[in-house]
Structure 1
């Protein structure tokens, strides 16, 4: 196939765009044509690796040898591959009846930033960036093993996002690896931007409540999971890694557990499970005990609760739902508002609304304590995707408590437990508590 045919076919497939550059370079006995998109290609690298050597190396054969030996230069494979690489930021070179690809992709977000979602007092503070090579480098530095395998694929019929699969060939479960690869090949999506989008594809029904994969921003957590035999996905343009398979124990683990002494780590883990139980059951228990089983309280406490509710004109479940929705709105507002005013606005808004609602007789004072404690307990859960699922689960148990009281709370917990038992993550039971690394 002639270079002229390849060039014309490529120009015909790539529409003329404002950022498309087609440049011809002329020198004594040499002619070079380069094609690239200036918005996604680094023109400084192009100047260093191509244009300066083109004019400095006078012999055409020597310049050809330079191109063929350069580590950033690849040879022509196919017209389809050529078009795809051009759109991804590569430069296409036409020189002496040969076609080359020069890797000058522009990395705009390759800076390593501090962690923001999984914060620990001790241990490394660096997180992933949005650059795929940078993220792989962070893992390579922490996991210098020759058995670390890296495979690449693309997801998204339009975006064709680059995804790297990382695992230790000695420690990975081959059956799980095959399931993960089959799962990725079966994902049908047009625009794939981040690994979090896979959360809804891990079950065929697309209706699973609890996440069966984990998303993390911490390289240290990632390499520990690789050492435990798990499979990691790195997505181009995303500062998060996807860990598979993932069970409940992984969702409740924090890197603080291994950066503390043994008993402190176990104590922190116990606190998280107490917070998990509290945030799921506390609103439902309030409704069940106040409306159905007040005899469970001591007399003084029962009178105190009844006294705080004497001005509330409606049943306890209306009071709970009203306050829970108000708290959900405050939590969402704290995420959406600008960082400069978000914490102040939500804190002041929560205090004013809570005090005003209590003074107006819309809710009782003990209800403010219940909702606040439930929200704080939810924040103890280290993985945000799992904490969101727990926020939804508490409404199911609350609904059963409205109709069946304390029996409904127990029934809801059993149903929730049975549902979690039915889940698996690429063949691994979701409620397995086998002792593994984080």
Structure 2
């Protein structure tokens, strides 16, 4: 594409500015450039100068300027918010963009009781400003990359040169060089591109919008991916245990913080294995329960016409539907609609004899425990893994659940994030 091909756009400006024998031609998109900046920083100084060489020296004083050699490069600069200045056979670009961004608001997706409340911003310079104000170490490095053949998305890699693992950094640079994508608009999309196993359900990079989490990970030698247009950033290399830590853990008393982490792992065990163990015990091994409890469960299931695995999968799918509905519905009606829907569904299904009363308790415990995990990306992985464990429990009983647990641990130990073990507490490089 050349400059003449942009004339069909209504926001493309082709403007000639003359002063006596001096003449320059300006090309830019008014939807991307700040016209007030153009007037103050380009046009007015041009009329104040008497020699074109003096004006060219002035252009070179801008922080973001460059000499353009090919016209194709000029078009790319225009779409990145630059103004092109043509003077005879010389062509310059100056960054005078006008990017609309929201103010820095409170983090809504990763709420904590104590600590900072602000979140990162879609404008990458604002996010970088927030991080540098909190991590004022001279070894902090920011490296720029451009990804996306159509979007030309700006990505900044942040890392502490002294603390960062050089092998992980080299591994990442090799991956970025080989990435080919048309559009890049979010941290989640970049994570999908970086992960080699496309069927891996577990997040190998952490996503966050909290500056304090970013700074904490920088101090641990992690690499941060800032993405233009997204308030969420990627952190890597990540390990399995990072997803069970909240920023509240750093401000609570030591024993309280350890207790909260312990509670999260208990919630993980409940949400992951309780449905499968329920099916396995009811179907194959009710004798391992106390007699009173076994009779209680059997009595609650007298009128239920389905096997236990169909019963629990049906109820878990209903909970999944309620979770998705709470996300998609407008915020004004989402809490009331999903709460009322869950109550009506559970009570009506129990009274109709489609599920047992104990099943409601199991499903409620599983639904509550999954939300104790502080990082949403891990929620989704755990929700998905529960179903194969239920199938194994329904086919082979408790032995099937144990086989599934060992297979899961082995799979987690085989995963790598930027070349580093995902379960690094139990594995070495």
TM-score by length of 1: 0.92
- The more displaced of 300-309 and 51-60 is 51-60
Alignment of 1:322-341 (within 5 A): 322-341=314-333
Contact 1:110 1:134 in 2 (8 A): no
Equivalent in 101, 108, 112 of residue 116 of structure 1 = 108
CA change 1:15–1:421 in 2 (3 A) is: farther
- Once the two structures are superposed, what CA deviation does each residue of 1:324-350 show, in whole Å capped at 9, x if it has no partner? 111111111111111121122111111
Alignment of 1:206-221 (within 5 A): 206-221=198-213
Asked if 1:346 is matched to 2:328, the reply is: no
* Whole-angstrom distance in 1 between the partners of 2:183 and 2:305: 50
Contact 1:29 1:60 in 2 (8 A): no
SS in 1 for 2:196: coil
Asked if 1:174 is matched to 2:144, the reply is: no
C-alpha displacement of 1:248? 0.6
Asked if 1:66 is matched to 2:58, the reply is: yes
Contact 1:139 1:219 in 2 (8 A): yes
* Whole-angstrom distance in 2 between the partners of 1:176 and 1:95: 46
Contact 1:283 1:320 in 2 (8 A): yes
* Whole-angstrom distance in 1 between the partners of 2:355 and 2:213: 43
**Aligned equivalent of 2:411:** 419
Contact 1:200 1:207 in 2 (8 A): no
Structural RMSD (CA)? 1.9
**Aligned equivalent of 2:299:** 307
CA change 1:73–1:240 in 2 (3 A) is: same
Asked if 1:250 is matched to 2:275, the reply is: no
Contact 1:400 1:408 in 2 (8 A): yes
C-alpha displacement of 1:200? 2.7
**Aligned equivalent of 1:129:** 121
C-alpha displacement of 1:189? 1.9
Contact 1:214 1:244 in 2 (8 A): yes
- Once the two structures are superposed, what CA deviation does each residue of 1:333-372 show, in whole Å capped at 9, x if it has no partner? 1111111211221111111111111111111222122112
C-alpha displacement of 1:108? 1.4
CA change 1:71–1:424 in 2 (3 A) is: closer
C-alpha displacement of 1:257? 0.8
Asked if 1:261 is matched to 2:219, the reply is: no
* Whole-angstrom distance in 1 between the partners of 2:35 and 2:105: 25
C-alpha displacement of 1:161? 1.2
* Whole-angstrom distance in 2 between the partners of 1:109 and 1:433: 41
Contact 2:34 2:98 in 1 (8 A): yes
Contact 1:130 1:239 in 2 (8 A): yes
Alignment of 1:174-323 (within 5 A): 174-323=166-315
C-alpha displacement of 1:433? 2.4
**Aligned equivalent of 2:357:** 365
- Once the two structures are superposed, what CA deviation does each residue of 1:58-101 show, in whole Å capped at 9, x if it has no partner? 66554433322233443335434322111111111123653221
* Whole-angstrom distance in 2 between the partners of 1:299 and 1:268: 34
C-alpha displacement of 1:177? 0.5
**Aligned equivalent of 2:366:** 374
**Aligned equivalent of 2:395:** 403
TM-score by length of 2: 0.94
* Whole-angstrom distance in 2 between the partners of 1:23 and 1:74: 20
* Whole-angstrom distance in 2 between the partners of 1:388 and 1:423: 17
* Whole-angstrom distance in 2 between the partners of 1:384 and 1:411: 27
* Whole-angstrom distance in 2 between the partners of 1:422 and 1:85: 44
SS in 1 for 2:60: helix
Alignment of 1:141-156 (within 5 A): 141-156=133-148
CA change 1:57–1:343 in 2 (3 A) is: farther
CA change 1:244–1:303 in 2 (3 A) is: same
For structure 2, the residue ranges without an aligned partner over 5 or more in a row are none
Equivalent in 123, 145, 156 of residue 164 of structure 1 = 156
CA change 1:228–1:98 in 2 (3 A) is: same
